[in-house]
Amino acid sequence: MRTVTVGFLGCGNIGCGVWKLLNEFKDDLLHRSGVVFDIKRILVRDVHKKRDAVVPENLLTTDPAQVTDDPAIEMVLEFMGGEEPATRYMLRALEMGKTVVTANKMALALNWHILQEAAEKHGSGLYYEAAVCGAIPIIRTTVDSLMSNRIEEMMGIVNGTTNYILTRMSQEGSDYAAVLSDAQRLGLAEPDPTSDVEGFDAAYKLSILSSLAFHARVPFDVIYRQGITQVTAADIAFGKELGYTLKLLAIAKRQGNVIDARVHPTFIPDSHPLASVNGSFNAIFLHGHACDDMMLFGRGAGSAPTASAVVSDMLYAVSRETPRHPTFRNSDKLAEGLTVTNDWRCSFYVRLEASDRPGVLAHITTCLGNEGISIRNLMQRDAVNGRAQIVLITHDAGECSIRKALAAIDSRDARVESMIRVEAKA
């Protein structure tokens, strides 16, 4: 039996989940790994706060050095959240030669290269399965199990809050604002939901995932990001009629040396495996040149599911003689030799409000045609007060072309109400 002394940075939702799993599953963990994890010190903001786990108060501290600098602590688990001071404390722990396990996608996505450099320099381990999609073992699957593949495409539902909101909007026909406030009341959305609903959280995760998938750093700031705040019940309903489900997808594709990486609301055919991923569940659909299509599905957040990933990293770390780091050059810049395109190709859903008079439809099709865009489906609703709703789905087209075409269409006679990208591969 080996004892590994552990320190926590943070003991909120996830910290308490890890505390419980390490204690309640202790005997099984020992039986499986031959290791006992001894929790020595826990950094918090307020030592007197009531917690979801029965954590002895004498383990709690407000002094980070008692975790990061204690020579007896071998492994530091970070679940404080935010970029700072979490990054600084992790760096300190790595410089002290400790293994760091983090659930913090933001700190990792923004400072991965700095953390990895410190880890390599000091021979420390750095593991982050819990930072992306909670319990779903997507990091290790990408790094280990799919190492034999050139991953060409990844599409994921990687944020449970937005998937919950879109699922309810879709099932109930409700508006965004009403479902968001209900989700906040139920504790499924933060009081400040910006990171989730504006797609930041998904973009941090996509930066980490696409870097591992493409074996080249894809920094957060090259990722196109659009959240769900402008999504309307009307668009979801029109999409449904046409056989599509709306999801906030994190998408990364690579063709040769050109990549696109983007987070935005996306229509997918109802028959696509991601279309049935509902509520707060997450899933990642990927395509590798040898493994073909694959989907991983599960709980992407929550105390116990995230603890599952943290503890799995702890076991992985102790099972290795030397730490494992990505072998691509990790920096804050896009990997040399790669370019990011903002001119990806897909279908587009467009909803217009147009004057119900001759020539308007011709104007729309001409503007699209001028950019080489053809229409796959077109639907028109009866006019109200002389204005009709027109919904169309294009064949594959370039992002820049559709933007140009919509700018040319937009006029008093035909107002563009919404444009949603469609990933049509079922």
Ligand X SMILES: NC(=O)c1ccc[n+]([C@@H]2O[C@H](COP(=O)([O-])OP(=O)(O)OC[C@H]3O[C@@H](n4cnc5c(N)ncnc54)[C@H](OP(=O)(O)O)[C@@H]3O)[C@@H](O)[C@H]2O)c1
CA atoms of 263 and 258, how far apart (whole Å) = 17
Question: Is 227 near ligand X (CB under 6 A)?
Answer: no
Of the two residues 102 and 142, which places its CB atom closer to ligand X in the complex? 102
Of the two residues 10 and 265, which places its CB atom closer to ligand X in the complex? 10
> How many residues lie near ligand X (CB under 6 A)?
23
Site string for ligand X, 46-85 (x = CB under 6 A): x--x-----------------------------xxx---x
Of the two residues 48 and 412, which places its CB atom closer to ligand X in the complex? 48
Question: Is 21 near ligand X (CB under 6 A)?
Answer: no
Of the two residues 77 and 231, which places its CB atom closer to ligand X in the complex? 77
Locate tokens 């105390």: which residue? 303
Contact assessment for residue 344 and residue 152, using Cβ atoms and an 8 Å cutoff = no
CA atoms of 80 and 106, how far apart (whole Å) = 11
Question: Is 301 near ligand X (CB under 6 A)?
Answer: yes
Which residue among 99, 104, 159, 210 contacts ligand X (CB under 6 A)? 104
Locate tokens 């010190």: which residue? 41
* Footprint of ligand X on 32-51 (CB under 6 A): 43-46, 49
Q: From its phi and psi, is residue 244 left (phi > 0), alpha (psi between -120 and 50) or beta?
A: beta
Which residue among 15, 227, 265, 298 contacts ligand X (CB under 6 A)? 15
Of the two residues 81 and 243, which places its CB atom closer to ligand X in the complex? 81
Nearest to 246 by CA among 278, 275, 283, 282: 275
Question: Is 11 near ligand X (CB under 6 A)?
Answer: yes
The distance of closest approach from Cβ of residue 403 to ligand X in the complex, given in angstroms and rounded to an integer, is 33
The distance of closest approach from Cβ of residue 301 to ligand X in the complex, given in angstroms and rounded to an integer, is 3
Question: Is 348 near ligand X (CB under 6 A)?
Answer: no
- Residue type, position 237, single letter: A
Question: Is 307 near ligand X (CB under 6 A)?
Answer: no
Catalytic residue among 205, 247, 333, 404: 205
CA atoms of 336 and 224, how far apart (whole Å) = 19
Contact assessment for residue 77 and residue 9, using Cβ atoms and an 8 Å cutoff = yes
Phi, psi of 306 (to 5 degrees): -70, -35
Which range of residues in 66-74, 101-109, 372-380, 383-391 is near ligand X by CB under 6 A?
101-109
Continuous segment of H or E residues that includes residue 281: strand 281-288
- Residue type, position 374, single letter: S
Question: Is 130 near ligand X (CB under 6 A)?
Answer: yes
Of the two residues 309 and 391, which places its CB atom closer to ligand X in the complex? 309
Question: Is 265 near ligand X (CB under 6 A)?
Answer: no
Question: Is 288 near ligand X (CB under 6 A)?
Answer: no
Of the two residues 189 and 354, which places its CB atom closer to ligand X in the complex? 189
Which residue among 7, 10, 219, 227 contacts ligand X (CB under 6 A)? 10
CA atoms of 135 and 133, how far apart (whole Å) = 6
Degrees, nearest 5: CA angle 185-187-193: 90
* Residue 205 among the catalytic residues: yes
List the alpha helices (DSSP H) in 25-159.
Answer: 26-33, 65-68, 86-95, 105-122, 138-140
Query: What is the four-CA torsion angle of 37, 80, 326, 282, rounded to 10 degrees?
Result: 100
Question: Is 13 near ligand X (CB under 6 A)?
Answer: yes
Question: Is 199 near ligand X (CB under 6 A)?
Answer: no
Continuous segment of H or E residues that includes residue 20: helix 13-24
Which residue among 87, 306, 347, 401 contacts ligand X (CB under 6 A)? 306
Degrees, nearest 5: CA angle 308-310-312: 65
Question: Is 326 near ligand X (CB under 6 A)?
Answer: no
3-class DSSP state for residue 221?
Answer: helix
Return the exposure string of 96-123: e unless at least 16 CB atoms fall within 10 Å of the residue's CB, then b: bebbbbbbbbbbbbbbbebbbbbbeeee
Of the two residues 44 and 420, which places its CB atom closer to ligand X in the complex? 44
Question: Is 192 near ligand X (CB under 6 A)?
Answer: no
Read off the tokens for 226: 């659009």
The distance of closest approach from Cβ of residue 258 to ligand X in the complex, given in angstroms and rounded to an integer, is 31
* Footprint of ligand X on 105-124 (CB under 6 A): 105
Provide the binding-site residues for ligand X, judged by CB under 6 A. Answer: 10-15, 43-46, 49, 79-81, 85, 103-105, 130, 134, 301-302, 306
**What residues are annotated to the active site?**
205
